[in-house]
Amino acid sequence: MKNKVLIANRGEIAVRIIRACKELGTSCVAVYSKADIDSLHVKFADEAICIGSERSTDSYLNINHIISAAIATGCNAIHPGYGFLSENEKFAEIVEKCNIKFIGPHHKVISQCGNKSMARKIAKESGVPVVEGSDGIVTDAKEGIKIANRIGYPILIKAASGGGGKGISIVREKNEFKKVFERTMMEAEANFGDKSVYIEKYIENPRHIEVQILADHFGHIIHLGERDCSVQRRNQKMIEEAPSPFINDDLRKQIGEAAIKIAKHVGYENAGTVEFIVDQKGNFYFIEMNTRVQVEHPVTEIVTGIDIVKEQIKIAYQKPLTYKQEDIHINGHAVECRINAEDPTQNFRPSPGLIKNLVLPGGNGIRLDTHIYSHYQVPPYYDSMLSKVIVHGKNRKEAIRKMRLALEEFIIDGIKTNIEFQYLIMHNPDFVRGVYDTSFISKFIETGIGDNNG
Ligand code: ADP
Ligand code: ADP
Ligand code: MG
């Protein structure tokens, strides 16, 4: 039987996966909601099938519709992309039961790692440091206050099923605890269908450093180095780079080995990311594991020369990894800016609508991952990310210079975007020196730079 992959996603990542399939000579099928009929992923795939109406719950989150589409088109694998059903263990299990390969780890591994509180336990068992916190889920405010007193404020209350920076609340003092605890549980239930929360110490101004893992069906596990994703707004990444300008080779080695320990411990298969926060002193702590391809995977592809999405597909079809750890070398520096349909002068309010004119940047060492084109209508129903600009320089300075040029060339008319905001960051002295942590964006906005209202 010829290999055929259904792509259970939309937007730039669907386009990215289609390209990987085509390079491998594997047929691919796109699925789309009624809002996405004119989307690039629909045009680029070998076949496309409508799976429902605009709302994600009727289409990209609808397991029955997606499985039916895969069976109807004769697919023998499903790539879930990121977001949507990518970390849904029930979906992975149903896919496997239908004799279709799920391009990701086994559903049992997803359930172990996807629950963030359970993942902490796994990290601990693997001998990897975790942020001080509760031993598991906390269901009672009184018990939570006891734990918070032991750890010391400020603390975070985090949804065990949270993701995308949502479901995380800070508590700065005891008398706020109960209110924030109850609110976070309610929000977690509403957003993730699971009200369970856990507690972590709040590390002041850390760096977010994550390690890309690849693991094949035969137990070979390697890592592809780290990414620094500390430029975040409200715990959501905005700019990512590889390698991290913050860590030295010794710490790099320790964090890489820690990530592999966790992956081995759970019998991980396929691509995954182990996320850490690193405090000002260089202590690192596990925070969570993402059992899917990540938005920022291109920066790692660029500095290692490895196509992570092609590897994902090959691993799912039980091809062995052709790289050993010693084959992985980091070449130069890569930076990615996420370009979103949002208005930075209106508190980053989403700005869907018609793209009247589009000029994409290009040139040596510039990569554009996107699904937009001139006269494309950005629908209001989904994530506001339109494009990723990724640059490769021989060093960090050259990469930043290239990013400035790319952002200068990039024109999206008709809707608001954060292109200029990103451009200003590329000129910020602290960013340019590589001296920044997860509080960077909020300080950047507070000081008025990039805020046209202030
Ligand atoms: P990455 O971890 O790859 O950097 P993000 O955290 O930005 O990616 O999430 C990627 C996408 O997936 C975003 O659109 C985000 O909103 C969505 N997402 C991530 N986790 C979840 C989740 N648990 N539930 C719903 N959406 C999620
Ligand atoms: P998500 O599943 O939404 O990606 P994470 O647990 O990865 O959630 O946290 C998202 C971001 O929130 C991190 O990248 C970091 O900036 C911040 N964060 C998470 N945990 C802590 C912590 N204990 N202390 C300080 N910041 C944290
Ligand atoms: Mg995370």
> Is residue 183 located within the same domain as residue 217?
no
Query: Among 172, 201, 230, which residue terminates a domain?
Result: 201
Instruction: Tell me how far apart the alpha carbons of residues 296 and 201 are, in angstroms, rounded to a whole number.
Output: 26
> Is residue 24 located within the same domain as residue 153?
no
Residue 357: Cβ within 10 Å count: 10
What separation in Å is there between the alpha carbon of 86 and the centre of ligand 1?
9
> Is residue 323 located within the same domain as residue 407?
yes
Does the beta carbon of 419 lie inside 6 Å of ligand 2?
A: no
Average pLDDT over residues 128-143: 97
> Is residue 55 located within the same domain as residue 149?
no
Contact (CB, 8 A) for 410 and 357: no
Ligand 1 atom nearest 161 alpha carbon:
23
Q: Is residue 108 part of a domain?
A: no
Tokens of 53: 């109406």
pLDDT tens across 184-207, in order? 999 999 999 999 999 999 999 999
Q: Is residue 49 part of a domain?
A: yes
Instruction: Tell me how far apart the alpha carbons of residues 149 and 143 are, in angstroms, rounded to a whole number.
Output: 10
| CATH number of the structural domain spanning residue 252 | 3.30.470.20
> Is residue 172 located within the same domain as residue 221?
no
> Is residue 328 located within the same domain as residue 380?
yes
∠ CA 275-279-284, nearest 5°, is 45
> Is residue 330 located within the same domain as residue 222?
yes
Tokens of 203: 């590390």
What separation in Å is there between the alpha carbon of 165 and the centre of ligand 1?
7
Give the domain range for residue 221.
207-451
Q: Is residue 314 part of a domain?
A: yes
| CATH number of the structural domain spanning residue 163 | 3.30.1490.20
292 included as an active-site residue: yes
Ligand 1 atom nearest 294 alpha carbon:
3
Instruction: Tell me how far apart the alpha carbons of residues 177 and 182 are, in angstroms, rounded to a whole number.
Output: 9
What separation in Å is there between the alpha carbon of 277 and the centre of ligand 2?
8
Ligand 1 atom nearest 275 alpha carbon:
2
Q: Is residue 410 part of a domain?
A: yes
Instruction: Please give the torsion angle defined by the CA atoms of residues 129, 130, 135 and 139, in that order, rounded to the nearest 10 degrees.
Output: 180
Question: How much of the chain, in percent, has pLDDT values that exceed 70?
Answer: 98
Q: Is residue 116 part of a domain?
A: no
Q: Whose CA is nearest to atom 20 of ligand 2?
A: 287
Q: With bands split at pLDDT 50, 70 and 90, how would you rate the model's confidence at 344? A: very high
Instruction: Tell me how far apart the alpha carbons of residues 411 and 51 are, in angstroms, rounded to a whole number.
Output: 32
Sorted by sequence, the CB contacts under 8 Å of residue 136 that are 6+ apart come out as 117, 118, 121, 198
DSSP H or E stretch at residue 238? strand 236-242
Q: Is residue 282 part of a domain?
A: yes
pLDDT at res. 449: 57
Q: Whose CA is nearest to atom 15 of ligand 2?
A: 235
> Is residue 154 located within the same domain as residue 211?
no
Number of domains making up the chain: 3
> Is residue 190 located within the same domain as residue 218?
no
> Is residue 403 located within the same domain as residue 282?
yes
Q: How far is CA 19 from the centre of its chain?
A: 19
pLDDT tens across 298-323, in order? 999 999 999 999 999 999 999 999 99
Instruction: Tell me how far apart the alpha carbons of residues 284 and 278 are, in angstroms, rounded to a whole number.
Output: 4
Q: Is residue 115 part of a domain?
A: no
Among candidate residues 292, 338, 367, 396, the one labeled active-site is 292
What separation in Å is there between the alpha carbon of 164 and the centre of ligand 3?
7
> Is residue 39 located within the same domain as residue 87?
yes
Does the beta carbon of 240 lie inside 6 Å of ligand 1?
A: no
> Is residue 164 located within the same domain as residue 231?
no
Does the beta carbon of 352 lie inside 6 Å of ligand 1?
A: no
pTM, two decimals, is 0.96
Q: Is residue 105 part of a domain?
A: no
Tokens of 344: 């930075």
